Amino acid sequence: MKLTIHGAGYVGLVTGACLAEVGNDVINVDVDQAKVDKLNGGGIPIFEPGLTDLVRRNHEAGRLQFTTDLEAGVRHGVVQFIAVGTPPDEDGSADLQHVLAVASNIGRWMDDYKVIVDKSTVPVGTADRVAAVVRQALDDRGQDVDFDVVSNPEFLKEGAAVGDFMKPDRIVIGTNSEQAAKILRRVYQPFSRNHDKLILMDVRSAELTKYAANGLLATKISFMNELANLAELYDADIEKVRIGIGSDPRIGYSFIYPGCGYGGSCFPKDVRALSRSAEQIGYRAELIDAVEAINNRQKELLFDKVSAHFNADLKGKTIALWGLAFKPNTDDMREAPSRSLMESVWAAGGHVRAYDPQAMQEAGHIYGERADLLLCESAEAALEGADALVVVTEWQEFRSPDFDGVKASLSEPVIFDGRNIYDPDTMQEVGITYYSIGRGARAA
């Protein structure tokens, strides 16, 4: 099938590459000339496991093309996927300018039936707005061309995006159009072979499903973080509590890890956007607001612990930081807890020596050259001469370091573990003062 994907970011590029992999003729359109040039030159603008080979293979086979030519993109696909960014607006609601710009382009150039698919995460009611913009653009041309607007939220996880797309848990399609449903069933059939993954529903329910999923996952994290803070006050161990509750099949073990807060390009903005869109229809989403407030507080927790350890005097102190990406297996630093921590350390007069297996370039883009940030080439190099180690992202390579080496490199043997990846007893044995989340402080 001829398919067009608008947006070549984390979602658009993965979607385009996976749809090309199963034999479709895909054009990926992006307004970012540098990104398109890089992709056409064989480069990949993001780190995502498995994506490089997939993109190159399909690009070389001619099934996956990259362009900034919006008109060519619109003319190409019977299905037009919109996978552009929906960043938070000033008040936290989803900024739909990119989505609506694509809608306008589609209306401007289309001359036969199109299925327009909202894959970006967008508030309930957006499909109607997209349809109105397309219709307006058609009217401006004096054209009457048939189209459907479908909601098809994306549930892939960064770090496992290719696998998630190729073997999805579910494919949600929101439409009342039989024609659009039939076409999308064909598009997704290769990803639904094991059993039918397609869940058909009305457009608004599909739009809300995405916010419901992210809202609930964020709620699980904030709930555990609230409990972790309580555990610390009670002198209980949240990791024991986690095992205790996870064993209940109604609760389960996944997504109940306490930590230094959630980040990334989705949870923070989607939780906020859900709250703002509820407000706009006169409803106060109290639970969702609390999830956000707890997370904002949690993102400050590591800094508070560091600051308290050094008696609120970080001037001249150097903090070694392991992990910049918001989670392992990605280079994405959008709303990452590492950023809150670094910015608080800098504001307090401290310095940071940071290392991340993939996000070093991204950190360089965000912060540029600054005297109080040194991006180091290895985890060991980040430790040299630092006064403390803070672990923010649970990359595999941080899980079992040479603790004697860590101790020898730090001017004071102290670790702040934002992901509870180390064992407090081991830390005590090796003589490292250890702070983690919800397990109290353990002096060496």
Ligand X SMILES: NC(=O)c1ccc[n+]([C@@H]2O[C@H](COP(=O)([O-])OP(=O)(O)OC[C@H]3O[C@@H](n4cnc5c(N)ncnc54)[C@H](O)[C@@H]3O)[C@@H](O)[C@H]2O)c1
Neighbours of 233 (CB within 10 A): 9
SS3 25: strand
CA dihedral 86, 87, 92, 96 (to 10 degrees): -40
CA 284 and chain centroid, separation: 26
Of 9 and 424, CB closest to ligand X: 9
Least distance (Å) between residue 210 CB and ligand X: 7
Of 327 and 439, CB closest to ligand X: 327
Tokens of 22: 């199963």
Of 203 and 228, CB closest to ligand X: 203
- Measured at CB, which residue is nearest to ligand X? 9
**Which residues bind to ligand X, rule: CB under 6 A?**
6-12, 29-32, 35, 83-86, 98, 101-102, 120-121, 154, 156, 158, 265-266
Q: Which residue, among 25, 21, 15, 136, has the nearest Cα to 75 in the 3D structure?
A: 25
Measured CA to CA, the distance from residue 106 to residue 283 in angstroms comes to 34
Active site residue 266: yes
Least distance (Å) between residue 118 CB and ligand X: 9
The answer to whether 211 touches 270, Cβ cutoff 8 Å, is yes
Contacts of 322 (CB under 8 A, 6+ apart): 354, 355, 356, 379, 382, 389, 390, 391, 392, 393, 395, 398
Least distance (Å) between residue 294 CB and ligand X: 21
Q: Which residue, among 125, 155, 295, has the nearest Cα to 226 in the 3D structure?
A: 295
Least distance (Å) between residue 280 CB and ligand X: 18
**Active-site residue identified among 18, 260, 266, 376:** 266
Of 156 and 256, CB closest to ligand X: 156
Phi, psi of 46 (to 5 degrees): -130, 160
Contacts of 86 (CB under 8 A, 6+ apart): 94, 95, 96, 98, 99, 120, 121, 122, 269, 273
The answer to whether 168 touches 191, Cβ cutoff 8 Å, is yes
Of 7 and 323, CB closest to ligand X: 7
Least distance (Å) between residue 329 CB and ligand X: 12
Of 161 and 238, CB closest to ligand X: 161
Least distance (Å) between residue 152 CB and ligand X: 11
Active-site amino acid positions: 266
